[in-house]
Amino acid sequence: MIYQHERKSNGEKRASSILKQCERTIEKGTIGLPELVKWLHITFIFIMLAIIAFWIVELKQGEMPYLDLVTRDTVAIVSGTSMYTFFRWMTELGSRQFVLPFVIIMMGVLWILYRRIVPALLFGLGTLAAQMVNRLIKHLIARERPSISSLLNAEGFSFPSGHAVTAIVCYGLLAYFFGKRFPEKKKIIYVLFGILTVLIGMSRYFINVHYLTDVIAGFFLGYLCLIAIFYLDNLADKRKR
Give how far Cα 209 sits from Cα of 149, 152, 154, 228, Å: 8, 8, 6, 28
Q: Which residues contact 92 (CB under 8 A, 6 or more apart)?
A: 98
- Phi, psi dihedrals of residue 155, rounded to the nearest 5°: -130, 155
Q: How far apart are CA 236 and CA 114, in angstroms?
A: 13
Active site residue 5: no
**C-beta neighbour count of 127 within 10 angstroms:** 26
Count CB atoms within 10 A of the CB of residue 66: 11
The helix (H) or strand (E) run that includes residue 38 is: helix 33-60
Instruction: For helices 212-240 and 162-181, give the axis angle rounded to 10 degrees.
Output: 30
Active site residue 210: yes
The Cα 90–Cα 85 span in angstroms is 9
Give the span between the Cα atoms of 113 and 192, in whole angstroms.
Answer: 20
Report the distance separating Cα 87 and Cα 109, nearest Å.
28
Annotated catalytic residue: which of 5, 41, 139, 210? 210
Which candidate in 5, 41, 139, 163 is catalytic? 163
List residues with catalytic annotation: 163, 210
